[in-house]
Chains A and B, each alone.
Chain A
Amino acid sequence: MARTIPYLSKPSIASRADALLDAFGAVHGKVTAPPIPVEDILECHLKLSLGFDDLSLRFGSSDVLGAIWIGRREVLIDQRLDPVEHVGTEGRYRFTIAHEIGHWELHRDLLTDVRQLGFPGDLAASPSLVCRRSEAKKPIEWQADRFAADLLMPAGVLRQAWLATVGTPDPLVYDDHKNTTFARRPYSRGMTSIGTVMRRSTEEEHSYFFEKVAREFAPKFQVSNQAMRIRLEDMGLLRTHREASLFI
């Protein structure tokens, strides 16, 4: 089904996420420190029903992370992301929750349930939206991802954490640190596989440094390291060169 998704700028998406966080804070107590309670926001504040299900079975593809039924106010997350049953999925799980919140906040007026058959809880009716990993670049999915990042790692909260950890509000620039032991990947004593050697030779030099810095913040915000790194780069807190350039 073709859908025209209205364009939303990055700042406008960020302000929507901030507004939601403020609204949540007004009722449940202001959120001043990470991690952002996205489960409480979804279930208690927005009053959407959350469930885990085998979405690969339900939708016939292993690509599906989440699905949302707007009319029924229901969200299902793929059970492979259950952070209690599967250690190490906490970040992806929380990101998917925040992503579905993004659809609710940004797109619920655009999405309607295709059919509303059956009794409550009958999920035979088609969902308003099924979120597939392979469709991440679609505008509607990009917007929800952007919202998720803004919700999980709000700029204000992240800058505060940055200041507390780094000691200054200024960005960390790879060029300033590339000759330090912190920034350099340690020599491995054991055998390194050919695949790893080849991967490392093509990776940007600054990758290791950026990832190491992201690791200082990802656990606090309970997001994946990758999500935190992308966020820090996006906010300009991680740079390769001192001068502002088109290429980070």
Chain B
Amino acid sequence: MSHPKRFGEVIRARREEMQITLRKFAATVEMSPTYLSKVERGEFPPPAEKKILAIAKNLDLDSDELLGLAGRVASDVSQIIQKQPTEMASFLRAAGDLPKGELERMLRQMQKRSKE
């Protein structure tokens, strides 16, 4: 579920856990310390997808999960849906109610099949 304030809390908690200073992390992800601070404290909304991916990478967080917290969908995922919109939409609607374990099992099957 999208949660802008939670997004900030998650990245700040992780950054502090990794003992990276605000300024150093801001430089790493190419944001100003003020902008990063405001995102962390929920005063600004989460930044663009590219920045979120950089943040996820440098904090060793799952990028899709972080994007989810920011209320975004990864652009590659959006493109996949748009290639076959009707089928993908039906697929997602059907898969939407599956519990996590079931979803993961299906995913493994599909990954195996695409390798063959």
Whether A and B are associated in the same complex: the answer reads yes
Contact with A along B14-50 (1 / 0, CB 8 A): 0010010111101100001110011011110000000
Contacts of A26 in B (CB 8 A): none
Contact with B along A72-90 (1 / 0, CB 8 A): 0000000100111100000
**Contact size class for A?**
10 to 19
Q: Name the distance in Å between B30's Cβ and chain A's nearest Cβ.
A: 11
Would B32 and A43 count as touching, CB distance under 8 A? no
Q: Name the distance in Å between A156's Cβ and chain B's nearest Cβ.
A: 25
Cβ-based interface call for A40 (8 A)? yes
Cβ-based interface call for B64 (8 A)? no
Q: Name the distance in Å between B77's Cβ and chain A's nearest Cβ.
A: 30
- Cross-interface CB contact of B21 among A39, A79, A85, A123, cutoff 8 Å: A39
Cβ-based interface call for A44 (8 A)? yes
List which A30-59 residues lie within 8 A (CB) of chain B.
Answer: 39-40, 43-44, 47, 49-53
Q: Contacts A51-B40, A121-B41 given; indicate if A44 touches B19 (C-beta within 8 A).
A: yes
Cβ-based interface call for A120 (8 A)? yes
Contacts of B16 in A (CB 8 A): 43, 47, 49
Q: Contacts A44-B19, A49-B12 given; indicate if A79 touches B34 (C-beta within 8 A).
A: yes
Chief secondary structure at chain A's binding surface: mixed
Would B32 and A51 count as touching, CB distance under 8 A? no
Contacts of A44 in B (CB 8 A): 19, 21
Would A84 and B32 count as touching, CB distance under 8 A? yes
Cβ-based interface call for B72 (8 A)? no
A121 to B10, CA, bound (A): 12
Contacts of A83 in B (CB 8 A): 23, 33
Contacts of B33 in A (CB 8 A): 52, 82-85
Contacts of A40 in B (CB 8 A): 21
Q: Name the distance in Å between B109's Cβ and chain A's nearest Cβ.
A: 42
Would A53 and B5 count as touching, CB distance under 8 A? no
Would A53 and B37 count as touching, CB distance under 8 A? yes
Question: Which of A39, A47, A49, A85 has the most B CB atoms < 10 Å from its CB?
Answer: A49
A50 to B16, CA, bound (A): 10
Would A84 and B26 count as touching, CB distance under 8 A? yes
Q: Name the distance in Å between A75's Cβ and chain B's nearest Cβ.
A: 10
- Cross-interface CB contact of B5 among A39, A49, A52, A121, cutoff 8 Å: A121
Question: Which of B24, B33, B43 has the most A CB atoms < 10 Å from its CB?
Answer: B33
Contacts of B38 in A (CB 8 A): 51-53
Q: Name the distance in Å between A54's Cβ and chain B's nearest Cβ.
A: 9
A134 to B32, CA, bound (A): 28
Q: Contacts A50-B21, A50-B22 given; indicate if A82 touches B9 (C-beta within 8 A).
A: no
B interface residues (Cβ-Cβ under 8 A, vs A): 5, 8-9, 12, 16, 19, 21-24, 26-27, 32-34, 37-38, 40-43
- A-B CB contact pairs (8 Å), 11 listed: A39-B22, A44-B19, A44-B21, A50-B37, A51-B38, A53-B37, A79-B34, A84-B27, A85-B33, A121-B8, A121-B41
